A and B are shown apart, each in its own frame.
Chain A
Amino acid sequence: MGREPASSEKQGLLKVIRLAPQFLILLLLIFLIPLEPTYVQSLATKILIFAIFAMSLDLLIGYAGIMSLGHAAFFGAAGYGAGILAVRYSIDNIWLGLASGILLATFIAAVFGIIALQARGIYSILITFALGQLLYSLATKWRSVTNGDYGLWGVPLPALGLSGFEWNGTYYYYFVFLAFLVCYLCLYRLVKSPFGKSLQGIREGESRMRALGYNTWLFKYVAFIIAGMFAGVAGVLFAYHSGIITPGDLAVMNSGFVMLMVIAGGIGTIYGAAIGAALIITIQYYAGILTADRWPLILGGVFVLTIMYARAGVGVYFYSLWKRVLVRWKF
């Protein structure tokens, strides 16, 4: 693309330099975090979980162009699925827990998708809102299964399946980190594929895509289900991390919470959502220390400020800064 040819060694080195931020972050996550005190590891675990959650939403709003305020429904449902399996049925297997949670989330996404996609444009926000609240109502009312408003507490970290293995905070951190890596790579691949490009086309001009022969409804539906599936991954990991899953985890307020992460980090980039998650969870942590009761007020303030002044995304901003540095130093 207009760059002068270089020796293959130099090209290799160039590639490494260009990916420096990613390498640094990876090194940080792999080696530095486990050396930190427990509360930092726990925070990092929570960040990675919400990063998966946010990236899944970015697929919907940033690529397929479907605005959703009900994404927490899949997150929460998966959490409940895993929680119920562990608490009500005492199944001590993390893989079964993951499978049941993810399957439940995917199923619900498949059902909700049909209803939500009936709406044109901005209406999808209303319907996803309503569907999210529907699941919230269900969670509060179906006390025999979900334990209602108190939430399903006492969710243990089920066994990994390796004999002699005992979970601790650091091991779970690494588990979640691996899950995050897998999800990140999958989503990254997905958005670069023909399918991902088709979604972007639909977001940019659905009528043209239809005229070009794309069954746009089907693409959006599949995207909806995939997004729900990945949200489910996050939901299960969250349930195990917190030890409790409550109806609030399904509610619209949680959907708004994760949407803020996507916007703050940068819509339509996948990595932006992850950075947004890190940002917002960190703010939540420190705000929570200052004032437990006024956190929603601060969150609302951050929300408003982000939309007003930072809606291009903080993650995107830093990425473009880095690209400028590369250009300037001729990398």
Chain B
Amino acid sequence: MEVLKVEGLSKRFGGVYSLEDVSFSVSGGERLAIIGPNGAGKTTLFNVLAGQLSATRGRVYLFEQEITNLAPHRRARLGMARSFQISNLFFNLTVLDNTLLAIQGSQARSFQMFRSIEAYGDMFAKAKKLLSTTDLWEKKDDLVRNMSHGEQRNLEIVLSLASEPKVLLLDEPTAGLTEAESANIVKVVSGLGSDTTVLFVAHDMDLVLNAADRIIVLHYGNTIAEGTPDEIQANPKVKEVYMGIKELAANAEAH
């Protein structure tokens, strides 16, 4: 089934079209990579999909329900989650507080006013499990603003996973991470299973070619190519526009 469908999506800022007539669909469990040069509109696409921005034209469907004008928090309740390219964390709160807020998320219990949050043992257990995947449990009482960039990026991903989303949008998940940290994130995301559909934006071509089932290439807001990693690597238009692939394709062939 088509978990996510995008039809003729356009987004205009003043006189400039950040996205122009973008259409694609994603099936359940698929790993779809969105790539393209800087300024191609990748983050804008995510912002429209997740609801931070409204579309100028076009429609978005989630689980075959139209969500084009749905508020972000409602999309989250339908099972969508995202990570942000620029870490969107609660900098003056602790790592644990950040995680608990993410876990508590769309649950009705977040309106509970009478018991201290410390009484909710199940949330703590879940936080421990989540934070341990990225070695952040030991730092649970640290303030986020005092953490290193890499730790913040890791927390950014953890927050997006906390709600056990059905559709996960990861915006440059490995940017700013060391090789080991990146490999760890890849492991965590691969471990998500077919219940979760993942869309990710990335510049790391190794990651894209290895982790993606399908790739969409954006350029100046338009889709210029769509296909499997092999198809994309062979695509001359893509090579022309996005020189990095050309080089890596040559490297890949050489192995």
**Inter-chain contact A211/B52, CB cutoff 8 Å:** yes
**Closest CB-CB distance, A313 to chain B, in whole Å?**
15
Of A194, A205, A207, the residue contacting B112 (CB under 8 A) is A194
Residues B111-167 near A (CB distance < 8 A): 111-118, 120, 141, 159, 162-163
In the complex, the number of residue pairs spanning A and B with C-beta atoms less than 8 Å apart equals: 103
Contact-residue bracket for chain B? 35 or more
**Inter-chain contact A205/B89, CB cutoff 8 Å:** yes
**Inter-chain contact A210/B117, CB cutoff 8 Å:** no
Instruction: Kindly state whether residue A184 has any CB partner on chain B within 8 Å.
Output: no
Q: A193-B116, A200-B93, A201-B90 are in contact. Are A211 and B81 (CB under 8 A)?
A: yes
Bound Cα distance A216, B111 (Å): 11
Contact bitstring B63-104, A, C-beta under 8 A = 1, else 0: 000000001110011000110100011111100010011101
**Closest CB-CB distance, B119 to chain A, in whole Å?**
9
Bound Cα distance A200, B101 (Å): 10
Closest residue to B123 on the A side, CB-wise?
A: A194
**Inter-chain contact A213/B106, CB cutoff 8 Å:** yes
Closest residue to A188 on the B side, CB-wise?
A: B116
Contact-residue bracket for chain A? 20 to 34
Q: Chain A residues near B73 (CB, 8 Å)?
A: 209-216
**Inter-chain contact B116/A198, CB cutoff 8 Å:** no
**Inter-chain contact A208/B113, CB cutoff 8 Å:** no
Bound Cα distance A197, B101 (Å): 7
**Inter-chain contact A214/B106, CB cutoff 8 Å:** yes
Instruction: Kindly state whether residue A196 has any CB partner on chain B within 8 Å.
Output: yes
**Inter-chain contact A201/B116, CB cutoff 8 Å:** no
Bound Cα distance A205, B72 (Å): 14
**Closest CB-CB distance, A202 to chain B, in whole Å?**
10
**Closest CB-CB distance, B120 to chain A, in whole Å?**
7
Q: Chain A residues near B89 (CB, 8 Å)?
A: 205, 208
Of A189, A204, A207, the residue contacting B92 (CB under 8 A) is A204
**Inter-chain contact A189/B101, CB cutoff 8 Å:** no
**Inter-chain contact B110/A195, CB cutoff 8 Å:** yes
Bound Cα distance A190, B71 (Å): 27
- 6 smallest CB-CB distances across A and B, nearest first, come from A213-B106, A213-B76, A204-B90, A213-B105, A192-B116, A210-B72
List, sorted by A's number, 24 A–B pairs whose CB atoms are closer than 8 Å: A192-B116, A192-B117, A193-B114, A194-B109, A194-B110, A194-B115, A195-B111, A198-B101, A200-B93, A200-B97, A204-B90, A207-B88, A208-B89, A208-B159, A210-B72, A211-B73, A211-B81, A212-B102, A213-B73, A213-B77, A213-B106, A213-B163, A214-B106, A215-B73
